[in-house]
Chain A
Amino acid sequence: MISHETILDVRNLTVDFFTRRGTVHAVRDVSFSVRKGETLGIVGESGSGKSVTAQAILGLTELPGRVTGGDILWKGSSLIAGREAAETIERVRGKEIAMVFQDPMTSLNPVYTVGMQVSEVLVRHMSMSKKAARSRAVELLDMVGISNPAKRLDQYPFELSGGMRQRVLIAAALACEPELLIADEPTTALDVTIQAQILDLIAELQQRLGVAVVLITHDLGVVAGVCDRVAVMYGGKIVEEADASEIYPLPFHPYTEGLLRSTPRLDVVSERLESIAGSPPDLREVLAGCSYSPRCAAVTEMCRSAVPVLDQRGEGRRVACWNPR
């Protein structure tokens, strides 16, 4: 299903938040691309810049944040710079690029019925009549596995459980048959058995509809079952990027390795869990060297004095480290 045609190209993206307590450098020179039909997992802990990256792609960077550098190209046209950028993002967002957010409890408007919220996109982007949109909404709810969809259309969000609401949001996101779905922690707020249902649904829809997916998560386990490629972020930067089948058995970056070791595994018995010493970085600071160097076990002088660049290392792999494994 994956072709070599790049649909999304993020180039040297930089996002800063100008707060009263100083400038937070949330995303620092991030570049990656998404090909048609592929699933990219962006993994990172809180404050790594993964959600801010997603918001920037959709033109949803909120004040006091601003895209201060780089460009985002959607099939060749910029979503950031130039006179047509604002118009392009308005046309593309919700139609060609759709999104699903973390919290299904707050992403739906509580005073509108489910039906109104799913058909809204159809009326706006596909110029459908309200009646046609409504019957398409029934199909969509059915597709995401909601039982009795015609009845659900007239219900309000409070009448649905968390898992149901996330299904409704996925239905709304897929309404216009997008080419790219950005899912920002789509299962974090859900119970584990419901998480498994939603991940299966995303994987199934991805196969069936051929939509490319960017899955943003803090959980390496979630990515393992779904994604073709994985990018690991730390301190606002991508530190490693590789095929899922390669990065898990042999991570090159010490942070990826540490993250994998500290993720408890059901199939491995160990007396003690491993952790990474120290705390995540303060994003107001810009270190002279690698932002992981204060926590890295293999740190050298070089790491403290110069920032490593994300370099090609082997087929389709990139790593930003002075002493990769």
Chain B
Amino acid sequence: MSLAGIPAEVAPLVDVRNLSVRFPVASTGLFSRARSYVHAVEDVSFSIGRGETLGLVGESGSGKSTTGRAILRSTPIASGRVSFDGNDITDVTGAALRALRRNMQLVFQDPYASLNPRMNVLEIVSEPLIVHGIASSVDEASPIVADLLSRCGLPSDALTRYPHAFSGGQRQRIGIARALALQPKFIVADEPVSALDVSVRAQVVNLLQDLQRDMGISYLFIAHDLSVVRHISHRIGILYSGHLVEYAPTNNVYESPIHPYTEALLSSVPIPDPAVQRKRGRIVLQGEIPNPIDPPAGCRFASRCPLVEDRCRVETPRLEEKAPGHFAACFVRSANTQ
């Protein structure tokens, strides 16, 4: 696969090749030794450039969070390779893995569950600094933490307060400050704004954008719909039931989607304007996502696809470059048949 669409001088920071992740499930029979697996992520390839944001979009069970965790090496990889900064990190362990983790951090979805209620903000944000030996004590870390907090738009008296004293948006800022403490090159943001109210969502998205501009961080921005990712992503990957079905520069996804699932996903996001919303030609999918335990052969979307053909039920389509830099996995659609 070529890396068309990315400027040549920007070699990818993160490169994922043919990644698969499987989770064993308990066998149902008492004496049965046969194990089944949830095929959470199958043969997924993409790359993320320096200072670039890749939006990874999919519904629940599509494997988007698992993909993020596999890159961070916090879930076992069944097959495929993950490279970071030019080095293969698929089999890295021990001290080398710990050193690697300085450079890749995670921002969680739920700002209520991801901060320890018994630690104050100074302790929360200084913890990674102490774990990685950058500061020897909380006191020593204090000026660094104060700087991080002001960068993330938190008041200066936040240091000594506890998470309960903050609103959802502010807590997410604390989570971002913690992720930034080690000056990582790469952050996986796993639905960082899904739990927030609409009016503060934009504050957090804008903060992430500002930090990227100032510090050159790369993001894998995980989302469950296509509304927020448009504003932050340079490129977007669409996952369906563990398969990457479309992968393209952001504008292509919105202006000229190729995969029928992408079209359905776009059409299912309501537009807050009755005049527009009521006139839209909408595609409402029937049925639901297939069972990921030993899924059937063929395209995973075949059971819900309005354009399904016989071939789709037998063979699995591969991700192909249908237009420059625009990849899709579909037998029926090519870039110019819409």
Residues of A within 8 A of B (CB): 45-46, 161, 163-164, 191-197, 199-200, 218-225, 244-245, 248-249, 258-260, 262-267, 269-277, 279-280
Q: How far is the CB of A137 from chain B (nearest CB, A)?
A: 22
- Given A264-B228, A272-B209, A275-B206, answer yes or no on A248-B272 (Cβ-Cβ < 8 Å): yes
- Given A221-B272, A225-B277, answer yes or no on A266-B206 (Cβ-Cβ < 8 Å): no
Q: How far is the CB of B241 from chain A (nearest CB, A)?
A: 12
Q: How far is the CB of A1 from chain B (nearest CB, A)?
A: 16
Residues of A contacting B59 with CB < 8 Å?
191-194
Q: Is B16 an interface residue (CB 8 A)?
A: no
Residues of A contacting B334 with CB < 8 Å?
none
Q: Is B144 an interface residue (CB 8 A)?
A: no
Known: A193-B265, A224-B276, A266-B254. 16 other contacts (CB 8 A): A163-B288, A197-B284, A218-B197, A220-B272, A224-B273, A224-B277, A248-B273, A264-B230, A264-B231, A265-B271, A266-B271, A269-B251, A273-B201, A273-B202, A276-B199, A280-B167
Contact B270 A262 (CB under 8 A): no
Contact B268 A193 (CB under 8 A): yes
Q: Which of A222, A258, A271, A280 contacts B270 (CB 8 A)?
A: A222
Contact B272 A263 (CB under 8 A): yes
Contact A194 B274 (CB under 8 A): no
Q: Is B211 an interface residue (CB 8 A)?
A: no
Residues of B within 8 A of A (CB): 59-60, 167-170, 197-203, 205-206, 209, 224-228, 230-231, 251, 254, 264-278, 282, 284-286, 288-289
Contact A266 B269 (CB under 8 A): yes
Contact A279 B272 (CB under 8 A): no
Contact B224 A196 (CB under 8 A): no
Can you report 7 residue pairs joining A to B where beta carbons are below 8 Å apart?
A: A192-B59, A193-B268, A193-B284, A196-B284, A219-B270, A264-B231, A279-B167
Among A195, A222, A263, residue most surrounded by chain B Cβ atoms (within 10 Å) = A263
Residues of B contacting A260 with CB < 8 Å?
272
Among B205, B206, B267, B284, residue most surrounded by chain A Cβ atoms (within 10 Å) = B284
Residues of B contacting A275 with CB < 8 Å?
199-203, 206
Q: Which of A197, A221, A259, A276 contacts B269 (CB 8 A)?
A: A221
Contact A267 B276 (CB under 8 A): yes
Interchain CA distance A163-B284 in the complex, whole Å: 13
Interchain CA distance A275-B227 in the complex, whole Å: 15
Interchain CA distance A263-B199 in the complex, whole Å: 8
Interchain CA distance A46-B199 in the complex, whole Å: 11
Interchain CA distance A225-B272 in the complex, whole Å: 8
Q: Which of B169, B266, B270 contacts A279 (CB 8 A)?
A: B169
Contact A192 B225 (CB under 8 A): yes
Contact A245 B201 (CB under 8 A): no
Q: Which of A196, A245, A270, A276 contacts B282 (CB 8 A)?
A: A196
